[in-house]
């Protein structure tokens, strides 16, 4: 399974919330640099405890991710910040504004820039 950065970030954050050093018991930082290998249903991490300088190798099994319905899987793995939640009227207004500007961002946002410059 290919992981997009957003999904991998969520996995890492979940691990970081639960991860404690087995040697000293302190919280251990986990980040993208900790990821060594990813597979179809696992992530292999190499983590270093900053308190006692112990190294930890963690094999995280992602078997639960396979239980996702294939029809909804593509939506669950999307980056939530890339989806837009808005009313249809707002979308129609934006389409109309882009059409009036002929698809030009300079024309569409030029008036805003002029207004900002005038206020300065």
| pLDDT tens profile 21-41 | 888 989 998 988 888 888 777
Residues whose CB is less than 8 angstroms from the CB of residue 83 and which lie 6 or more positions away in sequence, other chains included? none
Judgement on whether residues 52 and 7 belong to the same structural domain of the protein? yes
Q: What is the pTM of this model?
A: 0.48
Q: Using H for helix, E for strand and C for coil, what is the string for 64-91?
A: HHHHCCHHHHHHHCCCHHHCCCCCHHHH
Residues 56 and 14 in one domain: yes
Nearest residue to 14 via CA among 80, 77, 60, 82: 60
DSSP string, 15-27: HHHH-B-TTT--B
User: What was the pLDDT predicted at 77?
Assistant: 52
Within this chain, do residues 62 and 109 fall inside the same structural domain, yes or no? no
Q: Are residues 67 and 115 in the same domain?
A: no
Alpha carbon distances (Å) from 43 to 11, 30, 37, 60: 9, 13, 6, 5
- Tens-digit pLDDT profile for the chain (120 aa)? 456 677 778 888 888 888 898 889 899 989 888 888 887 778 888 999 989 998 999 888 776 554 444 555 555 555 555 555 556 777 788 788 888 888 777 777 776 667 777 877
Whole domain around residue 92: which residue ranges?
84-120
Do 74 and 97 have their domain in common? no
Tally the domains of the chain: 2
């Amino acid at each position: 399974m290919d992981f997009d950065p957003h999904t991998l970030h969520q996995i890492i954050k979940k691990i970081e919330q639960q991860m404690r050093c087995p040697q000293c018991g302190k919280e251990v930082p986990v980040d993208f640099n900790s990821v060594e290998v990813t597979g179809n249903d696992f992530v292999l991490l190499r983590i270093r405890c900053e308190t006692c300088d112990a190294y930890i190798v963690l094999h995280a099994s992602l078997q639960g991710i396979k239980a996702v319905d294939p029809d909804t899987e593509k939506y669950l793995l999307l980056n939530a910040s890339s989806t837009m939640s808005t009313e249809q009227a707002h979308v129609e207004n934006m389409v109309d504004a882009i059409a009036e500007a002929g698809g030009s961002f300079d024309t569409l946002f030029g008036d805003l820039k002029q207004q900002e410059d005038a206020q300065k």
